[in-house]
Amino acid sequence: MKTKDNVQKAITKSLAVIISLVLISITVNAQDFWKTVLENSSFSQLAMAMTSEATPASADANSTTDASAFAEYLTEETEESLQLENWMTNENNFFETVNIETEIENRLEIESWMTNESLFNGVAAYFEVETEEALELEDWMKNMDYFGVQTIEFELETEEGLEIETWMTDNSVWKI
């Protein structure tokens, strides 16, 4: 029992040390992260505006606007030039064209079922007489060992009567 307690204490202490090391490494990395977030966003500008003294607004907004703040938004983007492919210059790909072609089909053949009238009349199928092959009596059918059951057991099952419980007749359960 003592060894189990000692092992559990050692495990919890080692887990506490490992977790604290992980948390310390995360917080050290997070400090650099928050520095970059605050430097590269408008949060730093908001913080500077809140701490500095208020200056009166000028009538000309361009005089107080720092052009370098917007310079990164005004960079001109360039794309690669597109190449013209053959299918792009083919007019048949873009306009509906009518092609008139004579179609050649194989000659149809009449099969025997096509001339049988009884197949196409729904009532005629009811009057058709079915013919079946005669059944044959096989040796295993005559052997009484397969069918000679001497005793039959009947098991009578009885069920208990059903009881009515209070919840079955309670109107609040059924919301009647």
Does pLDDT of 37 surpass 80?
no
In a domain, 94, yes or no: no
Q: CB-based contacts of 118: which residues, under 8 Å, 6+ apart?
A: 124, 125, 128
Q: What are phi and psi of 79, to 5 degrees?
A: -115, 160
In a domain, 47, yes or no: yes
The structure tokens listed for 61 are 């907004």
Residue 6's domain spans which residues? 1-51
Does pLDDT of 35 surpass 70?
no
Rounded to whole angstroms, the maximal C-alpha distance in the chain is 119
In a domain, 56, yes or no: no
Which pTM value belongs to this model? 0.21
To the nearest 5 percent, what fractions of the chain are helix, strand and coil? 55, 0, 45
How many structural domains compose the chain? Answer: 1
For the stretch 138-169, pLDDT in tens is: 988 888 787 776 777 788 888 888 999 998 88
Long-range interactions of 82-85: CB distance < 8 A, separation 24+: none
In a domain, 107, yes or no: no
CA-nearest of 58, 38, 56, 63 to 48 is 38
Under a CB-based contact definition with an 8 Å cutoff, are residues 92 and 85 in contact?
no
The structure tokens listed for 53 are 């003294």
In a domain, 11, yes or no: yes
